[in-house]
Amino acid sequence: MYFFLMLIFYFCNVKSLILLKTDLILAIESSCDDTAAAVLNGRKVLSNCIANQDMIHKAYGGIVPELASRAHQSKIIPVVTQALSEANIDKKALTAIAYTQGPGLLGSLLVGSSFAKSLAMALNLPLLPIHHMQGHLLAHFIQDKNLKPPCFPFLGVTLSGGHTQLLLVNEYFEMKLLGTSLDDAIGEAFDKCGKRMGLSYPAGPQIDKLAQAGDSQRFSFPIPNLNRYDVSYSGVKTAFTNFIHKQEQKNPDFIQQHLNDLCASLQFTLVQIILNKIEKTAKDLGLKQIVIGGGVAANSEIRKQLEARAQTHKWEIFLPPLAYTTDNAAMIGIAGYYKLQQKKYGNLSDSAQARLTL
Ligand code: KG4
Ligand code: ZN
């Protein structure tokens, strides 16, 4: 008997056998500059792997789309192999393949979507095309001790390098856009202002760090007051750039001498803009659950200020753990899980879309 069990373990991989009857989803995310793959068993993340491209784009002060696509091409097989191996799952045990259909950089999306389609075809598996921003919000439904799923409806706020959105989330895939950035996204504002201060890409996390030792009230920048629920970040960016330009004419070392205060003041303003809109939207719609997602949701100031306002307004706030904040494939996997539950399958003719709408 013992010998027989050993044989099964050796040849079949016991974990794959035990999990055979559950939903094993391979998820692929390649919308921007990170090649990511994850394996989920239902809502539980078995592996979540990322090949980061920061070193490639660092020298250019932003993402170079052509270099991003090439890096995805060289990384996708190793990352998917790693995700399957860390999850201890054979690809033949998979139930479905989820991938990011858009929005994002077209060349990058094409690498992930083509790979997902080819693998699905080879293994005869259903495809689950996912909207990247929906993935950022649905990350809160991952089964994890640090996460508590919100209840519908809630106010979803996506904060990334390409998007700043306020959404009324009525259901997993029923998200109504209430407001958005009319120009730069919040992450873009962090990155572009950071570049002006000589910081490398992505500047957001560095500004967050440098701001810890700075005075957020040292400099002030304008906060736009738009009607409705839209936001704008290009005005602050221009005001910040002009301010630095003027100061440098008087003192060429201005940035170096005031880097911490500049970061803290800029960060305070960028965060204030979105928090004012969250406050207005939540009040007008009578929403008490605020759920944030996207790379900028990692920002310590936004977390701190959101917690303070939550106390005042009796909101329940949902902050993702850092592993599920910046781009990752687990968030695509959980969105895939709900699509699978609802039998919302994709097919081979679904095309990658740089400007996929909600
Ligand atoms: O969601 P994400 O990983 O990729 C996109 O979908 O764009 O977001 C990337 C953005 C970048 O602009 C990056 O600077 C910003 O998130 N970011 C931060 C922090 N961590 C990442 N911005 C401010 N503070 C942070 N701690
Ligand atoms: Zn993202």
Spacing, Cα 114 to ligand 1 middle (Å): 26
User: What was the pLDDT predicted at 13?
Assistant: 52
* Residue 167 predicted with pLDDT over 80: yes
Treating both helix axes as pointing N-terminal to C-terminal, what angle do 300-313 and 254-285 enclose, rounded to 10 degrees? 30
SS3 call for 114: helix
Name the token pair of 7: 């044989």
For the CA of 104, the nearest atom of ligand 1: 6
Higher pLDDT, 177 or 21: 177
> Residues with Cβ within 6 A of ligand 1?
32, 160-162, 187, 190-191, 202-205, 208, 294-296, 298-299, 326-327
115-138 pLDDT, tens digit per residue, is 999 999 999 999 999 999 999 999
- Express as a percent the part of the chain with pLDDT over 90: 90
Of the bound ligands, which one is closest to the alpha carbon of residue 296?
1
216-235 pLDDT, tens digit per residue, is 999 999 999 887 999 999 99
Spacing, Cα 297 to ligand 1 middle (Å): 8
Spacing, Cα 257 to ligand 1 middle (Å): 26
Pairing of strands 34-41, 24-29: antiparallel
287-329 pLDDT, tens digit per residue, is 999 999 999 999 999 999 999 999 999 999 999 999 999 999 9
Q: What are phi and psi of 177, to 5 degrees?
A: -75, 120
pLDDT mean across residues, the chain: 94
14-73 pLDDT, tens digit per residue, is 444 444 458 999 999 999 999 999 999 999 999 999 999 888 898 887 899 999 999 999
User: What was the pLDDT predicted at 7?
Assistant: 44
pLDDT band at 11 (very low <50, low <70, confident <90, very high): very low
Spacing, Cα 260 to ligand 1 middle (Å): 19
- Whole-angstrom Cα distance, residue 263 to residue 208? 7
